[in-house]
Copies of this chain bind each other. A is one copy, B any other.
Amino acid sequence: MSVAVQQFEVELVAIRDRVNVRLAESLAPLDDCPAALRESMAYSLLAGGKRLRPILVLFACEACGGLIDDAMPVACAIEMIHTYSLIHDDLPAMDDDDVRRGRPTNHKVYGEAVAILAGDALLTLAFEVIARNTRNGSVAAACCADLASAAGWCGMVGGQVADLEAEKQLEHRYSSQTTSCDVARTGAEQSLIQLEAIHRRKTGRLLCSAVTLGARVAQADTNLVDRLQEFGKHVGLAFQIADDLLDVTGDAAKLGKNVGKDATLGKMTYPGFLGIEASRRKADDLIQEACRLLEPLGSRADKLVSLAHFVTRRDH
């Protein structure tokens, strides 16, 4: 590992610690909140994890000349939204997962009702944290609007519904056992397009919004916000490919969840369509293209560039 990479990983740990402290503070016990609800929220929100989305917010803000502290409310909010989506995705009615980040999933510990409500509460708290703690009112409103758009019916939630629908379609296709080669190939191409469309919404929109939200807090001009948005789109897709690859090649202990589950479930994945090597190349190409977009920012964007590369080597 190069010295630059080692140094970056030290910085990464330091900024992650700052995020973790702020997240813990945001869940300080309050008299009006039932203990079981707070515990359930904290169980998932303070369970560790890479904190990729909040760090993207903070580094993007810095790259645009803003202050880390000013972006901290937005950084915490996006992690709350990411966490709520994991709690709800794991529910029996959805992916029905028992393990997450190496521990039993939220509903396994607190029951389904409290898990649903803890998710609702984290989603709600995300907007409160931004609206109450972002210094400039107009910036706060713009961030709430952007984050809601990325997380909502045309973003992450819409992607989750599209994903559920695609799984059903795939089950139907497997069960009807089409044998014609031409039909199968056309189906695979269509499915790859469908897969990208789903990922763009399910994970891409939120990751992308992390970058643009950082730029908004720094009050960057429109050109710069647009440039960071393109960067975010590329990184978001690369992240998803890396995630799919980890499910095939990863180590269950490091990952903290069952591996090979996507394949078992017949889920559409990049390695499933393109093979492992081509998927790796695609992720690398996306990251290189993303970093090219940041060249005009010079050294201010160094941390963002390092983070983009870090995203595709997440099993280290």
Judge whether B114 and A131 touch: CB under 8 Å.
no
The digit string for A147-159, where 1 denotes a CB below 8 A from any CB of B, is 0110111110110
Q: Counting CB contacts under 8 A, is A164 at the interface? A: yes
Judge whether A144 and B128 touch: CB under 8 Å.
yes
Q: Counting CB contacts under 8 A, is A94 at the interface? A: yes
Cβ-closest chain B residue relative to A34: B161
Chain B residues with CB under 8 A of A41: 153
Cβ-closest chain B residue relative to A81: B124
Judge whether A161 and B114 touch: CB under 8 Å.
yes
Judge whether A121 and B36 touch: CB under 8 Å.
no
Judge whether B117 and A131 touch: CB under 8 Å.
no
Judge whether A157 and B124 touch: CB under 8 Å.
yes
Nearest CB in chain B: distance from A93 CB, A: 4
Q: Counting CB contacts under 8 A, is A238 at the interface? A: no
Judge whether B140 and A124 touch: CB under 8 Å.
no
**Contacts A113-B164, A137-B141, A141-B131 known; A157 to B120 CB distance under 8 Å?**
yes
Cβ-closest chain B residue relative to A143: B131
Q: Counting CB contacts under 8 A, is A16 at the interface? A: no
Judge whether B128 and A148 touch: CB under 8 Å.
yes
Cβ-closest chain B residue relative to A201: B32
**Contacts A128-B148, A131-B148, A142-B137 known; A37 to B161 CB distance under 8 Å?**
yes
**Contacts A121-B158, A134-B141, A141-B141 known; A165 to B34 CB distance under 8 Å?**
yes
Chain B residues with CB under 8 A of A132: 141, 145
**Contacts A114-B164, A121-B158 known; A131 to B152 CB distance under 8 Å?**
no
What's the Cα separation between A158 and B33 when bound, in Å?
5
Nearest CB in chain B: distance from A83 CB, A: 13
The digit string for A107-139, where 1 denotes a CB below 8 A from any CB of B, is 000011110110111011101101110101111
What's the Cα separation between A174 and B27 when bound, in Å?
35
Q: Counting CB contacts under 8 A, is A160 at the interface? A: yes
Q: Counting CB contacts under 8 A, is A30 at the interface? A: yes
Judge whether A32 and B125 touch: CB under 8 Å.
no
Q: List 29 A-B contacts (CB under 8 A).
A: A33-B154, A33-B158, A34-B165, A36-B161, A36-B165, A38-B153, A88-B116, A93-B113, A93-B116, A113-B164, A114-B161, A114-B164, A117-B157, A117-B160, A117-B161, A124-B148, A125-B153, A128-B144, A128-B148, A128-B149, A131-B141, A131-B142, A131-B143, A131-B145, A132-B145, A137-B138, A140-B140, A141-B141, A144-B144
